């Protein structure tokens, strides 16, 4: 069976295509080039769970993929979605390897998922799925082996169930087995905000590099989960104007800028941005709204060759994972659109997860200000390195980021050598 057959998915094809282009560009050692296209470990499990109607038992498929085991423990989220598959999870694990390497974390990449619609589950059903899935992962996860985190369709409570299940099997509390858990269980107070705020920190830095300022910029945000919300709040606090936002319930538009704190109050009641009094309903495709900065913060594959030429933003910040296809990315470069790639823009989440893991291992919690300062320092330092690489090699930021990440991972692999 070929690699393409085993990991058959559009996302895997796109990720490998990007990797091969950069590997060729940097003349990557042939001894490592092929190895990095494959995960070192891929676990596929099937398991049953009971619906609330006791006699109703369903069987679902779960995955956990670990791309590189040479850098330290592996790290990556767990997603619940009906279309989760091995190829997608593998692709995301590879991106996690590059992402961790770009911001200098001692992790290899991992990703997991269960092929189920989380909206179809009651709280009790979701807990049973999570606990059984955790039991299936016991041979491959651990505080020093592989540390899960939340992703699409999972949250702090999901991580709490994983921690509790794992701790019961081990026989003692193991808060470091997951990150992104509730603060009451040793979770980081900045984890929820980290991805969004980290993305805006590097955006402001990028704007300065091209002679612009983030303050006063018109910003459009696609998606209003944790990432989109805190990207919007940070933008508002920095004086940028968030003029359009959408979520699954609809979209809103205000050319004078949306009042983000008031929008938070509205969402707490209505659970959607739609219907917010301080704005109009969005009448056009959100990705095509004229703006200075566009932030895709929802799902992957939303910027494609079919809509890329309708995008009117000067800067695109990939707060979501893989929102831009490879073909569309090339068109954006030709159109002189500055793209801050996902492997850099949304690395605030894994950075905050690293801080949480370190605190759990030390059994010592840092102050919130220290966490935020370290997050911003890590993100801005990584951006500065990527910018320098891209300028030196006359390439875009995505290529610059991949050069940094791939070289670091390859160096670790080559230095450790082969066993036996």
pLDDT digits (tens, 9 = 90+) for 146-203: 999 999 899 999 999 999 999 999 999 999 999 999 999 999 878 889 999 999 999 9
Between 402 and 5, the higher pLDDT residue: 402
> Alpha helix (H) ranges present in 246-325?
260-270
**Percent of the chain surpassing pLDDT 90:** 87
| d(C-alpha 46, C-alpha 115), whole Å | 10
| d(C-alpha 169, C-alpha 259), whole Å | 47
Share the mean pLDDT of the chain.
94
Mean pLDDT of the region 337-345: 96
Q: What is the DSSP letter of 42?
A: E
- Render pLDDT for 75-121 as a digit per residue (tens, 0 to 9): 999 999 999 999 999 999 999 999 999 999 999 999 999 999 999 99
Mean pLDDT of the region 13-31: 93
- What dotted CATH number matches 193-345? 3.40.50.720
Residue 252 confidence (pLDDT) above 90: yes
Question: Do residues 107 and 355 touch, judged by C-beta distance below 8 A?
Answer: no
How does residue 3 score in pLDDT terms, banded at 50, 70 and 90? low
Residue 283 confidence (pLDDT) above 80: no
Mean pLDDT of the region 279-308: 92
3-174 matches 193-345 in fold:
yes
End-to-end CA distance of the chain: 25
Active-site residue, 111 included = yes
Residue 45 confidence (pLDDT) above 70: yes
- pLDDT for the residue 55: 87
- pLDDT for the residue 365: 87
- pLDDT for the residue 188: 87
Residue 1 confidence (pLDDT) above 70: no
> Where in the chain are the domains?
3-174, 193-345
CA 198, distance to chain mean position in Å, is 12
How does residue 65 score in pLDDT terms, banded at 50, 70 and 90? very high
3-state helix, strand, coil in the chain (%, to 5): 50, 15, 35
- Render pLDDT for 228-247 as a digit per residue (tens, 0 to 9): 999 999 999 999 999 999 99
Say what the pTM is.
0.92
Instruction: Single out the catalytic residue among 111, 126, 181, 241.
Output: 111
What secondary structure does DSSP assign to 337-391, as a single string? Answer: -EEE-HHHHTTHHHHHHHHHHHHHHHT-PPPHHHHHHHHHHHHHHHHHHHHHHHH
Residue in 229, 217, 220 with CA at minimum distance from that of residue 266: 229
Fold for the domain defined by 3-174: Rossmann fold (3.40.50)
Mean pLDDT of the region 338-342: 97
**Percent of the chain surpassing pLDDT 70:** 99
């Amino acid at each position: 069976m070929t690699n393409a057959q085993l990991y058959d998915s559009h996302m895997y094809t796109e990720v490998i295509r990007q990797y091969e282009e950069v590997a060729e560009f940097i003349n990557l050692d042939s001894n490592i080039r092929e190895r990095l296209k494959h995960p070192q470990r891929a676990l596929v499990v099937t398991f049953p769970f009971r619906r609330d109607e006791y006699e109703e038992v369903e069987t679902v498929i779960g995955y956990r993929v670990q791309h590189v085991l040479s850098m330290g423990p592996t790290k990556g989220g767990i997603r619940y979605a009906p279309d989760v598959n091995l190829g997608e999870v593998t692709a995301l694990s590879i991106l996690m390897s590059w992402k961790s390497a770009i911001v200098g974390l001692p992790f290899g990449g991992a990703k997991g998922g269960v092929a189920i619609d989380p909206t179809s589950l009651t709280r009790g059903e979701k807990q049973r799925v999570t606990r059984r899935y955790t039991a299936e992962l016991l041979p491959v996860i651990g505080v020093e082996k592989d540390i899960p985190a939340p992703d699409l369709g999972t949250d702090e409570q999901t991580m709490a169930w994983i921690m509790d299940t794992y701790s019961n099997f081990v026989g003692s509390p193991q808060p470091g087995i997951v990150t992104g858990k509730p603060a009451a269980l040793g979770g980081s107070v900045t984890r929820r905000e980290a991805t969004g705020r980290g993305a805006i920190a590097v955006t402001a830095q990028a704007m300065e590099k091209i002679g612009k300022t983030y303050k006063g910029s018109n910003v459009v945000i696609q998606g209003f989960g944790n990432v989109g919300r805190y990207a919007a709040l940070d933008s508002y606090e920095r004086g940028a104007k968030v003029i359009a936002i959408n979520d699954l319930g609809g979209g809103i538009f205000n050319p004078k800028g949306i009042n983000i704190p008031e929008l938070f109050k509205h969402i707490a009641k209505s659970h959607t941005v739609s219907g917010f009094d301080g704005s109009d309903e969005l009448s056009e495709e959100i990705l095509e709204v004229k703006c200075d900065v566009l932030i895709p913060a929802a799902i992957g594959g939303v910027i494609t060759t079919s809509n890329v030429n309708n995008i009117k933003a000067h800067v695109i910040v990939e707060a979501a994972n893989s929102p831009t296809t490879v073909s569309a990315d090339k068109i954006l470069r030709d159109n002189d659109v500055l793209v801050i790639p996902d492997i850099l823009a949304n690395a605030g989440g894994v950075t905050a997860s690293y801080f949480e893991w370190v605190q759990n291992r030390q059994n010592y919690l840092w102050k919130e200000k220290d966490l935020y300062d370290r997050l911003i320092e890590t993100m801005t330092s990584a951006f500065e390195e990527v910018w320098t690489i891209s300028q030196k090699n006359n390439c875009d930021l995505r290529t610059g980021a991949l050069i940094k990440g791939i070289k670091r991972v390859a160096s670790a692999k080559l230095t450790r050598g082969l066993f036996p």
